[in-house]
Amino acid sequence: MSDLKALTGRFITFEGGEGAGKTTQITLLAERLSARGLEVLVTREPGGTPGAEAIRSLILSGAVNAFGPLTETLLFFAARRDHIEKTIRPALDRGAVVLCDRFTDSTRAYQGALGAVDAATLDALETIVQTGLKPDATVLIDIPPDEGLRRAAVRRGAGSGLDRFEAESIAFHDRVRSAFLEIAAGEPSRVIVVAGALDAAALAHLIWSELGARFAVPAVADSTA
């Protein structure tokens, strides 16, 4: 037990395609961690600060497409910088567990899949912007894109339009999925791959046991204490 790292001050990211179940699983994990007395910060990318959320709206509206992939990538990293400085770092420093819905793996998978920003450029931007910050663990929820997009469409409901990435082709989403799996294969100790086809409760259970194998998870707080 004692050689497991404490969960306090850990940075855990969730990755996967649209509709994979990231937000659902982050919510379930946050509840479980909070019940054990840990401070949990739930955040997302792009976003997590007012400035970064403004950049998110700009990107997801599609207004940035005309600028091209490098400018889009720079905007993601600009948002990330603000997010790290104002939200993520301070939370980690005070011992919170930070659960982040998408992070740099998404930039690699999506911008890489768009095919116009090379890995060396992404590496350089990561070094400049993150100054050493890397996720302690990443949960990759893997799902066939048609199933994920179907779920995302149900979630969105009738009447509202597709966002910038939902509007891309199935072939694009297949490339994104492969890119995520390649990242996972290259960093098996960081990236936990789980099957998004499982029902939400089974998936939560699996993620909990995978995290428990890596980190010392405290027992449920005694409500009589």
Ligand X SMILES: Nc1ncnc2c1ncn2[C@@H]1O[C@H](COP(=O)(O)OP(=O)(O)O)[C@@H](O)[C@H]1O
Q: Which residues contact 140 (CB under 8 A, 6 or more apart)?
A: 15, 16, 105, 180, 181, 183, 184, 191, 192, 193, 194
CB of 42 to ligand X, least distance (A): 12
Q: For residues 168, 170, 172 and 174, what is the CA-based torsion angle, rounded to 10 degrees?
A: 150
Number of chain positions touching ligand X (CB under 6 A): 16
Q: Is 23 near Mg ion (CB under 5 A)?
A: yes
Number of chain positions touching Mg ion (CB under 5 A): 2
- And the tokens for 158? 């009738």
Range in contact with ligand X (rule: CB under 6 A) among 30-38, 89-97, 126-134, 196-204: 196-204
Q: Residue 177 binds which one of Mg ion, ligand X, none, with CB within 5 to 8 A depending on kind?
A: none
Range in contact with Mg ion (rule: CB under 5 A) among 20-28, 66-74, 152-160, 196-204: 20-28
Q: What does the buried/exposed string (b/e) look like for 131-164 if buried means 16 or more CB atoms within 10 Å of the residue's CB? A: eeeebbbbbbbbbbbeebbebbeeeeeeeeeeeb
Binding mask 17-36 for ligand X (x = CB under 6 A): -xxxxxxx------------
Residue nearest to Mg ion (CB): 23
Q: Residue 20 binds which one of Mg ion, ligand X, none, with CB within 5 to 8 A depending on kind?
A: ligand X
Range in contact with ligand X (rule: CB under 6 A) among 29-37, 51-59, 90-98, 199-207: 199-207
- The radius of gyration of the chain from alpha carbons, rounded to an integer in Å, stands at 17
State which residue, 19 or 135, has the beta carbon closest to ligand X: 19
> CA-CA distance, 98 to 79, in Å (whole number)?
17
C-alpha closest to that of 13 among 93, 127, 102, 111: 102
Q: Residue 203 binds which one of Mg ion, ligand X, none, with CB within 5 to 8 A depending on kind?
A: ligand X
Evaluate whether 138 touches 15 at the Cβ level (below 8 Å).
yes
Q: Is 151 near ligand X (CB under 6 A)?
A: yes
Q: Contact residues for ligand X (CB under 6 A)? A: 16, 18-24, 151-152, 154-155, 198-200, 203
